[in-house]
Amino acid sequence: MNVTIVDYNSGNISSVINSFNEVAKDKVNIEVTSDLNKIKYSDKIVLPGQGSFKSCIDSLNNINGLVDTLNEFVIINKKPLLGICVGLQMFADIGYEETETKGLAWISGKVSKINNQNGKFKLPHIGWNEINIVKDSKIFEGIENNSHMYFVHSYELIPEDKNVISATTDYSSSVVCSVEKENIFGAQFHPEKSDKLGLQMIKNFINL
């Protein structure tokens, strides 16, 4: 099986690569590439994302044909994709970080700044926080409800269809931290920085 981590110059993804290699242990081929053919013929894709919504969308668009290849993989061929952090946020129709930017429109909704209640909550939301699993998801197999995951973000995905939400976390309000829609999976937290439970989630994705 081939699992491809999409490298589109979206910041440092070495911890994502290391975690997937650690879980794969030579049984699964982990490739890091922006090669459209390799992405197209992968079994599963990981879409990481660091920085702003706009910078990540711009980086995707800067690689000719990449967005079309991802659309074909996810929407037409219905193969599994895991988005991490901004990788998840880009599923939305639109994001409001820096400026209004169109997303991939895989999950109807928007990405807005977390309401920090006039400074009562610090942004970015950074560090370990409890996740509330609200949907029976294969991605959370072996992970107990109220487990702690590692977060670094100031913006949140607000999906129109609440049925896609698989987990939330409490920070100022109930913030969506994981989604699942058919073959599309996303984590707002960083599984690659979330110790053993994060590795379990990566293992669950690889084993889907």
Residues designated as active site: 85, 190, 192
Beta 132-133 vs 165-171: how paired, if at all? antiparallel
Burial 106-133 (b: 16+ CB within 10 A, else e): bbebbbeebebeeeeeeeebeeebebeb
Euclidean distance between the first and final Cα of the chain, in Å? 11
Using CA atoms of 33, 112, 104, 50 in order, give the dihedral in degrees to the nearest 10: 0
d(C-alpha 179, C-alpha 15), whole Å: 22
Q: What are phi and psi of 87, to 5 degrees?
A: -55, -35
Burial 7-27 (b: 16+ CB within 10 A, else e): bbebeebeebbebbeebbeee
3-state helix, strand, coil in the chain (%, to 5): 30, 30, 40
Question: 48, 110, 47: which is closest to 81 by C-alpha?
Answer: 47
β-sheet bridge partners, residue 37 = none
